[in-house]
């Protein structure tokens, strides 16, 4: 592949932006090499500045379940843009998108739109604190819920500790409002609730954790969280910025058998445009201003172009056949890629979300179980897969996404390339 124009663009970007990027993982620092600069995209393919055509399995980190530039979404965006890019005032399509979202959450009556998943989570946490009159939030080690100060924390020693900031610029006093426990450890949960249950406003969790690998919880774990929240008067917040509308029309509560009190959304509900949302019952959401005293605002919240993209996307997803086809493609990729004699070429998969678990060990259920060897193998394969024309997320901790724009030929080609390169890597490892 030619890379001259991407390299030139990156050098120019570095002169005006920190690291030349506007989100750290794009910098390719986890896999080595220089970032690819994209010129255009359509379907499941990217075209970079050097004219290289790449089959995309990152899909903008999850929003593009219908692929790049889906005709229905593009038409909706163009029509909305022609009517004005931003109003800073109410418009009817906001209510239409909220209704489309609530159709996937029959137990909820309200939605507040924001401009990002991070903002949605910030709003939901403030709402939970106000509703309960408590200050503490409980999250899980390795869980990522956006870059707001109170959530940029990691676990310390022991079963449960106050948060220790994992980013400079987060005051200790702010980090201390977040408790962190190991994921997939019911005893740790019980211990922290026994010690501080009366102070915990809510527990925040990805019900399908997909921000640091695909760490599927064991049976009964989410149920245990729900029971502890109920016993101690805390709220349960499902962060479904990734999982919302990814596996079914709506959230994953029917799949996991646990109902949350609040849900945060993003990505798919914006159809590729910036968006976030908090969904929940009227008794909670109506505490937001202007009805209540919990303040949240945003100049571009409910942006008409983002709303149009979200409405067009959700209209396509109403047809359940979409999810059945994505499951079929995911199963096909998994079967074909893992049928080789390379014992560590494995995936963790749920529907159209796939995590490369390049280890001979059983898949982990928590972040501290991620095998360094698996990550090293992914790094070794990433560059060669890019040379073959496959754009994968530039980190072994990130999941891959399928879209309706992918077809059998795309997943078969990826599987064949993975098998060939994995065999070569396995031979080098055993030499």
Active site residue 221: no
Q: Note whether 212 and 144 are within 8 A (CB).
A: yes
**DSSP 3-state of 42:** strand
DSSP conformation letters of 101-125: HHTT-TT--EEEEESSHHHHHHHHH
Q: Which stretches of 47-185 are DSSP H helices? A: 71-82, 92-102, 117-132, 172-175
Q: Note whether 180 and 141 are within 8 A (CB).
A: yes
- Measured CA to CA in angstroms, residue 7 lies from 37, 159, 326, 384 at distances of 8, 46, 35, 18
How many other C-beta atoms can be found within 10 angstroms of the C-beta atom of residue 368?
10
What's the angle, vertex CA 43, arms to CA 39 and CA 44, rounded to 5?
Answer: 80
Q: Note whether 199 and 231 are within 8 A (CB).
A: no
DSSP code of 197?
Answer: G
Active site residue 295: no
Active site residue 239: yes
Phi/psi region, residue 59 (left: phi>0; alpha: psi -120 to 50; beta: rest), is: left
48, 267, 371, 421: the active-site residue: 267
DSSP code of 356?
Answer: E
144, 221, 323, 391: the active-site residue: 144
- Measured CA to CA in angstroms, residue 328 lies from 68, 363, 412 at distances of 20, 22, 13
239, 261, 371, 410: the active-site residue: 239
Residues known to be catalytic: 144, 239, 267
């Amino acid at each position: 592949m030619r890379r001259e124009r991407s390299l030139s663009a990156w050098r120019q970007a570095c002169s005006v932006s920190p690291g030349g990027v506007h989100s750290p993982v794009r910098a390719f620092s986890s896999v080595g090499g220089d970032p690819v600069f994209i010129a255009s995209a359509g379907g499941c393919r990217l075209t970079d500045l050097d004219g290289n055509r790449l089959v995309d399995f990152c899909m903008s980190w999850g929003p593009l379940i219908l692929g790049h530039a889906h005709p229905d979404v593009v038409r909706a965006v163009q029509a909305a843009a022609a009517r004005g890019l931003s109003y800073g005032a109410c418009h009817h399509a906001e209510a239409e998108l909220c209704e489309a979202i609530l159709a996937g959450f029959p137990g909820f009556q309200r939605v507040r739109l924001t401009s990002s998943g991070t903002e949605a989570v910030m709003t939901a946490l403030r709402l939970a604190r106000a509703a309960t009159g408590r200050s503490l939030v409980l999250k899980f080690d390795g869980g990522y819920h956006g870059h707001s100060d109170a959530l940029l924390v990691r676990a310390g020693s022991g079963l449960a500790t106050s948060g220790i900031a994992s980013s400079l610029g987060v005051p200790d006093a702010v980090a201390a409002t977040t408790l962190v426990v190991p994921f997939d450890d019911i005893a740790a949960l019980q211990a922290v609730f026994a010690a501080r249950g009366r102070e915990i406003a809510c527990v925040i969790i990805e019900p399908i954790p997909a921000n640091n690998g695909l760490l599927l919880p064991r049976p009964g774990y989410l149920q245990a969280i729900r029971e502890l929240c109920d016993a101690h008067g805390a709220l349960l917040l499902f962060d479904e910025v990734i999982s919302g509308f990814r596996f079914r029309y709506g959230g994953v509560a029917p799949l996991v058998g646990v109902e949350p009190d609040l849900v945060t959304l993003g990505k798919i509900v914006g159809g590729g445009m910036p968006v976030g949302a908090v969904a929940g019952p009227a008794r909670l959401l109506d505490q937001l201003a202007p009805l209540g005293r919990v303040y949240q605002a945003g100049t571009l919240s409910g942006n008409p172009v983002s709303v149009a993209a979200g409405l067009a996307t959700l209209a396509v997803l109403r047809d359940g056949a979409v999810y059945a086809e994505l499951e079929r493609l995911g199963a096909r990729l998994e079967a074909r890629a893992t049928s080789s004699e390379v014992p560590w070429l494995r995936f963790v998969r749920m529907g159209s979300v796939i995590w490369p678990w390049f280890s001979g060990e059983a898949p982990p259920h928590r972040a501290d179980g991620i095998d360094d060897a698996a990550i090293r193998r992914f790094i070794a394969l990433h560059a060669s897969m890019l040379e073959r024309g496959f754009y994968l997320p530039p980190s072994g901790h990130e999941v891959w996404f399928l879209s309706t724009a992918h077809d059998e030929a795309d997943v078969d080609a990826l599987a064949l390339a993975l098998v060939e390169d994995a065999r070569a890597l396995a031979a080098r490892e055993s030499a």
